[in-house]
Amino acid sequence: SQQGEEDPQALSIQEGENATMNCSYKTSINNLQWYRQNSGRGLVHLILIRSNEREKHSGRLRVTLDTSKKSSSLLITASRAADTASYFCATDIEGWGKLQFGAGTQVVVTP
Amino acid sequence: GAVVSQHPSRVICKSGTSVKIECRSLDFQATTMFWYRQFPKKSLMLMATSNEGSKATYEQGVEKDKFLINHASLTLSTLTVTSAHPEDSSFYICSASHDYTEAFFGQGTRLTVV
């Protein structure tokens, strides 16, 4: 069963705006990861955040993790048309690579 | 580093035939490999976990006789979809991890059964 639930399911924004998506999960985790997937293609790993971390940055991406609420958020700042993709959170309960994926958020960035 | 190569990237096969998908770790030894399946516009579902030299562990609802997984070496795992049918058409993707650390994904294989 899927560990993570994501919202919103879909997000449509204009270039330059920020995009925020959220992920909630059910059990304690070792780490949580965010991936991007362009239509019909493979996964691109964005960020891994461990259970003892609260926030991580990578370029225009910011990920937060609140283990007390069992939730995470991914913020994409100053979005670009190239950010159009589906974004998935995935939880790793034991820390050895076995992932459970959320349903995903489909992001469309219009020029 | 940490490159995982999956082959083929696309395959079309006739109903009733079997298809083999390979997942290779190119620059590390993969003690564990994972196989996922993704239906169109859906999320990824874990199918099975394979450890080198032992039988794969399948997730609930995944037919082990339908989806044969072999992890014969520390760099190669294969997924064979046996007697494929149109409902098996999907995107299959593997990941590999070394010594129980984070896993790295292959490029995925789009299987179409006609």
Among residues B77, B37, B38, the alpha carbon closest in space to that of B54 is found at B77
- Residue B111 pLDDT level (bands cut at 50, 70, 90): very high
**Calpha distance B111→B11 (Å, rounded):** 5
Helix (H, G, I), strand (E, B) or coil at A31: strand
If we measure between CA atoms, which residue out of A31, A103, A40 comes closest to residue A72?
A: A31
Q: Which residue of A has its CA nearest to B35?
A: A98
Please report which confidence band the pLDDT of residue B40 belongs to, taking 50, 70 and 90 as the band edges: confident
Mean pLDDT of B99-114: 89
* Cα within 13 Å of Cα(A78), Cβ side: 2
Give the pLDDT of chain A (111 residues) as one tens digit per residue. Answer: 456 788 899 999 999 999 999 999 999 999 999 999 998 788 999 999 999 999 999 999 999 999 999 999 999 999 999 999 999 999 999 888 899 999 999 999 999
**3-class DSSP assignment, residue B86:** helix
> Is the Cβ–Cβ distance between B18 and B84 less than 8 Å?
yes
Q: Look at residue B66 and tell me whether its pLDDT is greater than 50.
A: yes
Give the closest of B45, B93, B103 to A97, CB-based. Answer: B103
Q: How far is A19 from chain B (nearest CA, A)?
A: 20
Kindly identify which residue of chain B lies nearest to residue A96, measuring between CA atoms.
B100
Q: What is the DSSP string of B7-76?
A: E-SEEEE-TT--EEEEEEESSS--SEEEEEEE-TTS-EEEEEEEETTSPPEEPTT--TTTEEEEEEETTE
Q: Which residues contact A68 (CB under 8 A, 6 or more apart)?
A: none
For residues B20-39, give the mean pLDDT.
94
What residues of chain A lie within 8 A of the CB of B58, using their CB? none
Q: To probe the interface with A, which of B102, B104, B105, B112 has the most A CB atoms within 10 Å?
A: B102
Q: What residues in B contact A97, CB-CB < 8 Å?
A: 32, 34, 95-97, 100-103
Confidence of residue B100 (pLDDT cuts 50, 70, 90): low
In chain A, residues with a C-beta closer than 8 Å to the C-beta of B34 are 97-99
User: Who among B43, B103, B104 is closest to A101 (CB)?
Assistant: B43
**Given B45, B97, B107, which is nearest A96 (Cβ)?**
B97
Beta-bridge mates of residue B34: B49, B95
The residues on A that touch B, with CB distances below 8 Å, are 2, 31, 33, 40-43, 45, 48, 88, 90, 92, 95-104
Of A31, A97, A103, the CB nearest to B95: A97
Q: How is the beta sheet containing B67-73 ordered, strand by strand? A: B4-7, B19-25, B76-81, B67-73
Structure-model confidence comparison of residues B99 and A89, the more confident one: A89
The overall average pLDDT reported for chain B is 93
